[in-house]
Amino acid sequence: MAEVVRLTKVGKVGVIAVDNPPVNALSAAVREGLLAKLHSALAEPSIQALVLLGAGRTFIAGADIREFDSFDSSGGPDLNEINAAYETSPKPIVAAIHGTALGGGLEIALACHYRVGLARAQVGLPEVKLGLLPGAGGTQRLPRLIGAAAALPLIARGNFVPGPKAKELGILDQLIEGDVQAGAVSFAEELVARNAPLKRIRDLAAKAEPRLFADFRKEMAREAKGFFAPWKCIDCVELTTTTPFDEGLRRERALFRECLASKQAKAQIHVFFAEREVAKIPDVPRDTPVQPFAKAAVVGAGTMGGGIAMCFANAGIPVTVLEVNREALERGLAVVARNYAGTVARGRLTQAEMDRRMALIQGTTDYAALADADFLIEAVFEEMEIKREVFRRLGQVAKPTAILASNTSTLDIDAMAAESGRPRQFIGTHFFSPANVMRLLEVVRGAQSSRATIATAMELGRKLGKVAVLVGNCDGFVGNRMLAPYVREAEFLLEEGALPQQIDKVFVEFGLAMGPFTMGDLAGVDVGWRIEKRRRQTRSKNLRTSYLVDKIAERGRHGQKTGAGWYRYESGSRQPLPDPEVERIVVEHAREIGLARRPISDEEIFKRCFYPLINEGVKCLEEGMAIRASDIDIIYVNGYGMPAYLGGPMWQAEVIGLRAIHDDIRRFQDRHGGYWEPAGLLSELAASSGRLRDWRR
Ligand code: 3H9
């Protein structure tokens, strides 16, 4: 078997190369190899200095995350032991970074005496994104090297630093060009030639302004709300200013273990792997040819159309936006310009960059101007007749190879595909609002979408910086379909005795960005109402329907945009305020339908709303609307304000227990009948103690 760590000699320099594809993760075998090769090199008198590098496309991307389930029994030496051996080596060691040096990979580089890298190298301590902290000295060495102020955000946010910035910060001693091994070897030879000192970061003192940590904790309050690891990261960095190195290292490891044992880390690691799984489509192999998309078109310059056009412009793809008339077009493009100007004003975009992006967006009122587009997305009003008409026109003008897509959030993709006359080149691309901000893209597979069309839409998502999830064609697709019963039960609970603020609080405390009524106000009460009215047309008369939303919407309470919905809003504020008027409407409505309101517990609210959402997710899975349970989690983490530390609804289902959920659903079925039928797959897995995450159709 090929060695995962090799030692070769270039003149006086020993080169230790880690070769453990795909990312040189620090598996037990690699850790063993790193120590063994160091000992060999130290014992070899002709070697005077060492270079540590990674074979393949990365340096070392960190600990082997797959070994974390058996952290103490995975075998091989501990990373801290390896780092100590490298740091105390009497021969100088240079880490040579040509790709990513992440987590434990950067930690070992920090234990080396010098670091050099290519401009395209990336370094970082992303452990926090896995619900962890750097547990092999990263929190103790990086602040000592570059100062606590610079190290804090890198460790607590986990962002990657490109080579030139790493040089500027002092993480890299030198940027090199060309072959990384050759550059690092001559750097090492020079160290030997001038008898350079062995720079050991552990011996440096970390400096920090007195207010640094208090200020940074304040800065992180919102973005790290509910998360465990970022706060522990900050604690660890603070230790460098108060505690000797060895004691700091011990405390860091204790906190690392605390994180590793947490539910949050398990959920976040699940999300990490789920994000990688989501791109894998069983019947669309990775090498499926992708059609080039040099030019795009968007029909509709409303909120969604404008946002989608911005996505293309942000990715450097020219896009033509079509509207029915000049006024609507100009209004839409003005909103786009205002959005960009806001980003410029906040200092997050240069004026020149804004100008470049605006220049990529062309407006038109003439369908003929869309003839050269490769990918055309419809984002008009959510009405089937209007959409059919758009696709009839697009089918006529688009070039023969073009792919047509609809941004519908609920309507039947196949009905539109039929209208376009090219169902094989038809697909759904469901963006989430605001389209230029939200990461999620549901790619909706039509009955006849070709593999190339699917592969192209998934690739487009990646190009636009989205997480694309392939779903099936059903009402609401996956995300909104699951949301429907959650919102339905929330409205029933209002009738039975709860108020919007009580229900929302339960879900905010659970960790969601907002509860169902704040979400309804944000999306527009009228929008949900319109969808509900359409669904009523096909709903069995035996099923309970709430008409409460009609009473809110009919009063013009359409949500944030009208200053009132399920809440009221002060002028210019997005803060939902409980409204006595809503309470009056709710109480009056309950009286009218003859329901005696009762106190409702937070536990009932949680189960009544969240369990049907899970149940619907399981139905999506068994019907093949989602490929795997973890895809559904990705949808909720990226598009529905569920924090990664909850892992997504399907992950949560297993945390709570499928059996417990199933039994509660049965109990609700006895009490409320109707909607409360457990999904067949849920019953099956509950009975067999099976796992959603292992289930495939
Ligand atoms: C740590 O270091 C803890 C220490 O501080 C303390 C210890 C005591 N392990 O992302 P890709 C797999 S925590 C195992 O598609 P890319 C990945 O699942 C670690 N597997 O490639 C995928 O598998 P598959 C801190 C890993 O080019 C394949 O490699 N480090 C690991 O788009 C390709 O991955 C991190 O958090 C791993 N560490 O991006 C870095 N990493 O083909 C995590 C990847 O079966 N990694 N895999 O689906 C990354 O950020 C990206 O993978 C990277 C490459 C940027 C490196």
How far is the centre of ligand 1, averaged over its atoms, from the C-alpha of 260 (Å)?
16
Q: Give the whole-angstrom CA distance, residue 10 versus residue 41.
A: 12
Q: Is 271 in the pocket of ligand 1 (CB under 6 A)?
A: no
Q: Which atom of ligand 1 is nearest to the CA of 125?
A: 25
Q: What is the mean pLDDT of each run of 10 residues along the chain (697 residues)?
A: 91 97 96 98 98 96 92 88 98 98 98 98 98 98 97 97 98 97 98 97 92 97 96 98 96 97 97 96 94 95 95 98 96 96 95 97 97 96 93 95 94 94 96 93 97 97 97 95 96 97 98 96 92 90 94 96 96 94 97 96 98 98 97 97 97 97 96 92 96 91
CATH class, range 296-471? alpha beta
> Counting Cβ atoms within 10 Å, is residue 443 exposed (0-12), middle (13-18) or buried (19+)?
buried
**Fold held by 479-694:** N-(1-d-carboxylethyl)-l-norvaline Dehydrogenase; domain 2 (1.10.1040)
Residue located nearest, by CA, to atom 4 of ligand 1: 104
Region label for 539, one of left (φ > 0), alpha (ψ between -120 and 50) or beta (otherwise): beta
Q: Is 102 in the pocket of ligand 1 (CB under 6 A)?
A: yes
0.75 surpassed by pTM: yes
Q: Is 23 in the pocket of ligand 1 (CB under 6 A)?
A: yes
CATH number of the 5-220+231-240 domain: 3.90.226.10
Tell me what pLDDT residue 410 has: 84
Tell me what pLDDT residue 75 has: 85
Tell me what pLDDT residue 134 has: 98
Tell me what pLDDT residue 328 has: 96
Residues counted in the chain: 697
Residue located nearest, by CA, to atom 5 of ligand 1: 134
Distances (CA, A) of 232 to 93, 102, 111, 235, 259: 31, 19, 22, 5, 8
Tell me what pLDDT residue 1 has: 60
Residue located nearest, by CA, to atom 53 of ligand 1: 61
Q: Which of 308, 118, 130, 110 is nearest to 202 (CA)?
A: 110
Q: Kindly compute the dihedral angle of the four CA atoms of residues 34, 35, 39, 44, in this order, to the nearest 10 degrees.
A: 0
Q: Is 62 in the pocket of ligand 1 (CB under 6 A)?
A: yes
In the residue annotation, 532 being an active-site residue is answered as no
Q: Do 296-471 and 479-694 come out as alike in CATH topology? A: no
In the residue annotation, 107 being an active-site residue is answered as yes
DSSP 626: B
Tell me what pLDDT residue 531 has: 87
Q: Give the whole-angstrom CA distance, residue 675 versus residue 491.
A: 14
Q: Find the catalytic residue in 87, 127, 419, 442.
A: 127
Q: Is 474 in the pocket of ligand 1 (CB under 6 A)?
A: no
Residue located nearest, by CA, to atom 46 of ligand 1: 61
Q: Which amino acid is at 606?
A: F
* Cβ atoms of 408 and 382 closer than 8 Å: yes
Every domain of the chain and the residues it spans: 5-220+231-240, 296-471, 479-694
